[in-house]
Amino acid sequence: MRSSSAFWPALALTAPLVLFLAFAYALPFLGVALWSVTLPEPGLGQYERLVGDPLVQSVFLRTFRICLIVTVIAVACAYAVTYVWVRGSRLQRRLIEICIFVPFWISLLTRAFGWLALLSTRGIVNASLQALGLTDGPLALVRNEPSVIAGMVHVLIPFAVLPLASAMRTVDERMLLAARGMGASRLRIFWSVFLPLTLPGVIGATLIVFVFSLGFFVTPAILGGGRSIMVAELVYLRMFQSPDWGLGAAISVALVVIVAALMGLLARFARLGLTGGGR
């Protein structure tokens, strides 16, 4: 029981931000939702296009496919680095910290540019391959789906590390000790004890990474070169190239609904105490 004398001052302290976001974020979002049912004419026409239009459908399907692949790869990679980060020697920890947190602070644009520098026709990879005589001409390594996936995985790995780390830190060492005492091999301890114990963290990381990946815009737009368009880029194109604000708004509302459903799922796991660290 904290004293109620501070209730009103405390509420007043929270008020500026809550009011600011109510006016600058919540209300305009309702405006966007309104666009989705009024542009170009009142009705649910835009939502019918969401499910009926083959172009919109193919973009949504591609987005889900790419995001699933990206999520699986990113969580697997993050699991490996987090494992060493949490359980490794001091030196290993320092090195991993640099690898995870330095790219995290670097702009998305710089990182996308780095991939272009590596993978473009005259880029570092192609130049080295040709110098070694392994290939005759340049390979098309960029402006395609695999390069989009590589770029997205790169951005998302750090987001998967934190939930995984909090799950791995709660593993009871005595369980591993018991397994070893009973003669389990290194692989067996990992596979039958450690991995199942950290599974809640894996689920949490998977949901978070998937949710984040759905709205990706900058990385796919640059590395995809306008060929494999994802949902977020479609919104941009509908806003600024072929003005079709109603459809852009309808896609935005659909994205929010999908993300809300996934976050609801995540909250359920957290409430059941299944995700490590209660995220």
Partner 1 sequence: MRIQRPGPVAVVLALLVGVFLLLPLLAVVPISFTPGRLLTLPKGSLSLTHYRTLFENPDWLRSILLSARIGLFTSVLSTTLATSFALGIWMLQPRFSQLLVGFVLLPMIVPPVVSAMTLYFLLTGMSQMSHSIGFDSVIGVTLAHTVMTVPFAVVMVLVALAQVDRRIDLAARGMGASVAQRIFHVILPNIAFGVATAALLVFVLSWEEIGVTLFITSVDAITLPRLMWMGLRDNVDPAIAAISVVLIVVTLLVLLARMAFQRRPEFEEE
**DSSP state string for 33-102:** HHHHHHSSSSSSHHHHHHHH-HHHHHHHHHHHHHHHHHHHHHHHHHHHHHHHHHHS-HHHHHHHHHHHHH
Answer yes or no whether residue 255 interacts with partner 1 by CB under 8 A: yes
Q: Which of 49, 69, 123, 144 binds partner 1 (CB under 8 A)?
A: 123
In angstroms, the CA 241 to CA 234 distance is 10
The interface with partner 1 within residues 144-163 (CB under 8 A) comprises: 154, 157
Q: Which of 49, 64, 88, 270 binds partner 1 (CB under 8 A)?
A: 88
In angstroms, the CA 207 to CA 187 distance is 27
Q: Which residue has the tokens 């699933």?
A: 68
Q: Which of 68, 84, 140, 261 binds partner 1 (CB under 8 A)?
A: 84
Answer yes or no whether residue 109 interacts with partner 1 by CB under 8 A: yes
Q: Which of 59, 152, 207, 211 binds partner 1 (CB under 8 A)?
A: 211
Give CA separation, 99 vs 88, 92, 146, 249, 269, in Å: 14, 11, 22, 38, 29
Please give the structure tokens belonging to residue 279.
Answer: 């995220």
Q: Which of 54, 122, 182, 242 binds partner 1 (CB under 8 A)?
A: 122
At residue 50, φ and ψ (nearest 5 deg) are -55, -40
Q: Which of 141, 214, 229, 237 binds partner 1 (CB under 8 A)?
A: 214
In angstroms, the CA 36 to CA 251 distance is 8
Answer yes or no whether residue 116 interacts with partner 1 by CB under 8 A: yes
Write down the least CB distance from residue 122 to partner 1, Å. Answer: 5
Answer yes or no whether residue 18 interacts with partner 1 by CB under 8 A: yes
Candidate ranges 37-45, 51-59, 119-127, 269-277; the one touching partner 1 (CB under 8 A): 119-127
Write down the least CB distance from residue 154 to partner 1, Å. Answer: 7
